[in-house]
Amino acid sequence: MVVSPTLTRSILLLLVLGISCARPQTEKNSLPLQLAKAYGLDSFCLVGKIKYTFNVKFNGKTISRSWLWDVSGGRVTMQEPGAAPVSYARGGSPDTSFRKVDAQFINDQYWLLFPFHLAWDTSAIVTVAPNQPVPIGTGTATRVTIAFPPAGGYTPGDAFDLFVDNRNRVKQWAYRRGNAAAPTRTNLWEENRRVGPLLVSLNRPGADSTFRVWFTDVAVQLKGSNDWLLPQ
């Protein structure tokens, strides 16, 4: 990883201020925790703001939503093409007028930062199975599955499979609605880029050309800095 001068200055500033990164309550040295760390879990506490545009192509149309997530301040702003920005405070249950936007934020943020939720979502059950066939193409990989409880959240009972290589990088992903045996949707994870201290897959093509998720305008601002760090 090449660390930019701006990133170095910001991290040093945080160290001087005595800000530390709390460890998640996940089994020490487990593969799920190591996977989350490979994507920047230990440095996420350095992040003040994240901005990105979530793009999805399906059924012949494309939808884009731009987000500014003030991680430190707990505030989210969404911008859709041709519409006024919508901003609301996260934490607890959002006001009913913002529940649709909050559900969209959760969906898009999970797509962007899914490996972190292996450590963050303490109510979910995470299991590991080595040498499992990948859903797209041929070959095998270690499968890390996270299954959510049947109640609570916007999509209770769903399960997700992450197919991981020996460098703790996600190569493929499968979503199983209601923890069904067969995948509802499968995607590759491509274009892994460093954005400040985080590692992000910017391109998620589906098994065929009818579905694709990708991210544009991704940037991270560290606490104590006004600079935006772009993908490297």
Residue 132, pLDDT > 90, answer yes
Residue 17 vs residue 192, higher pLDDT = 192
Rg of the Cα atoms in the chain: 18
DSSP 229: B
Q: Where are the alpha helices (DSSP H) in the chain?
A: 5-17, 31-38, 99-113, 117-120
In the predicted model, what is the mean pLDDT of the chain? 88
pLDDT at 10: 37
pLDDT at 92: 63
pLDDT digits (tens, 9 = 90+) for 154-164: 778 999 999 99
pTM for this prediction: 0.85
Residue 108, pLDDT > 60, answer yes
User: What torsion, rounded to 10 degrees, do the Cα atoms 2, 143, 149, 49 define?
Assistant: 10
Residue 187, pLDDT > 60, answer yes
User: 11-20, 91-100, 162-171, 190-199 — which is least confidently predicted?
Assistant: 11-20
Calpha distance 89→20 (Å, rounded): 24
Contact (CB, 8 A) for 40 and 19: no
Q: Determine whether 121 is exposed, middle or buried from the number of CB atoms within 10 Å of its CB (0-12, 13-18, 19+).
A: middle
pLDDT at 8: 34
Amino acid at 202: L
The backbone torsions φ and ψ at residue 44, rounded to the nearest 5 degrees and listed phi first, read -65, -30
Question: How many Cα atoms are found within 13 Å in the side-chain-facing hemisphere of 83?
Answer: 11
Residue 19, pLDDT > 70, answer no
Going from N- to C-terminal start, the domains of the chain cover 29-222
Measure Cα distances from 91 to 26, 94, 128, 202 in Å: 22, 7, 31, 27
pLDDT at 93: 62
The token duo for 79 is 């911008």
Average of pLDDT values for 174-199? 97
pLDDT at 22: 47
Average of pLDDT values for 167-174? 97
pLDDT at 217: 98
Pick the CATH number of 29-222 from 2.40.128, 2.60.40, 3.30.530, 2.50.20: 2.50.20
| Structure confidence at residue 90 as a pLDDT band (50, 70, 90) | confident
Residue 20, pLDDT > 50, answer no
Residue 201, pLDDT > 90, answer yes
